[in-house]
């Protein structure tokens, strides 16, 4: 199966830089990956023709919500995926809001990419499992997937985001085993599990496994050479 590659461009690029990156990544052979590009809202059209995801979405369809962009509106623009609950947004969104966003995405035919993961402190205090379970169960509370719906769970511990070192494969696989068990427990069967956090061309070959359906890239996703090397490795 082709690996999913989610490119979270965060707020890294101006519109001109995004257009420039697009020209460069047009040269990369992505045929063996399921590529999903998540630009800033202003940069969607720089990546026309690629499968697009948003970095966030709002749960109401329309209304007095200054500064928000609804899942409904995104779906009308052809957006097929949305990151929800990314660590860098968890300061603004409670677990309840994340749950509403997941529901709004599904209602609007957007596949939610639900980000979960523990902080360094959680890990030190040995409460990783508890955090994963709470985040997962709350995000998916009262959700039953229809036959044509799927979710993507991105396991992305806060303590590996934006660094140089990533997790060890056995640590990722342990977490994936646990997440799989939890999803079974709540009857979610249609899902993909991806991993994120400082994935680079230097470490990608150490974390390739059949159990990992794909990767969520931050910094590496806006560097065409990095992206090219990563794509070559996961083929
Ligand atoms: P990183 O970011 O690859 O730069 O660690 C990943 C993310 O935050 O989604």
Write out the E strands in the chain: 3-8, 33-38, 53-54, 81-84, 111-116, 151-155, 191-196, 214-217
Residue 235 pLDDT? 79
C-beta 158 within 6 A of ligand 1: no
CA of 219 to the centre of ligand 1 (A): 6
Q: Give the 3-state secondary structure of residue 3.
A: strand
| Closest to 5 in 3D by CA, of 30, 40, 42 | 30
- Taking 3-state DSSP, the helix, strand and coil percentages for the chain, each rounded to the nearest 5, stand at 40, 20, 40
Percentage of the residues of the chain whose pLDDT score is greater than 90: 97
Q: Over 90: is that where the pLDDT of 140 sits?
A: yes
What average pLDDT does the chain have? 97
pLDDT at position 165 is 80
Give the pLDDT score at 163: 84
Q: Whose CA is nearest to atom 9 of ligand 1?
A: 218
How confident is the model over 169-187, as a mean pLDDT?
A: 97
- Cβ–ligand 1 distance for 219 under 6 Å, the answer yes
Report residue 146 as tokens. Answer: 């229809």
Q: How confident is the model at residue 164 (pLDDT cuts 50, 70, 90)?
A: confident
Whole-model pTM: value is 0.97
């Amino acid at each position: 199966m082709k690996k999913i590659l989610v490119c979270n461009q965060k707020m890294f690029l101006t519109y001109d830089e995004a257009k420039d990156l697009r020209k460069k990544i047009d040269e990369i052979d992505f045929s063996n990956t399921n590529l999903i590009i998540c630009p800033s809202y202003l940069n969607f059209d720089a990546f026309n023709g690629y499968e697009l995801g948003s970095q966030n979405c709002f749960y109401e369809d329309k209304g007095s919500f200054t500064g928000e962009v609804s899942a409904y509106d995104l779906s009308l623009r052809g957006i097929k995926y949305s990151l929800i609950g990314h660590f860098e947004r968890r300061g603004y969104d409670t677990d309840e809001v994340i749950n509403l966003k997941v529901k709004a995405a599904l209602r609007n035919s957007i596949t939610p990419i639900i980000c979960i993961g523990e902080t360094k402190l959680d890990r030190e205090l040995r409460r990783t499992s508890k955090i994963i379970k709470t985040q997962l169960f709350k995000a998916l509370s009262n959700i039953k997937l229809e036959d044509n719906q799927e979710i993507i769970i991105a396991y992305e511990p806060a303590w590996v985001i934006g660094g140089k070192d990533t997790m060890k494969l056995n640590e990722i696989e342990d977490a994936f085993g646990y997440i799989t068990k939890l999803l079974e427990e709540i009857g979610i069967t249609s899902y993909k599990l991806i991993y994120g956090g400082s994935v680079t061309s230097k470490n990608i070959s150490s974390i390739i496994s059949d159990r990992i359906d794909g990767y969520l890239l931050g910094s590496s996703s806006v560097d065409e050479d990095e992206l090219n090397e990563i794509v070559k490795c996961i083929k």
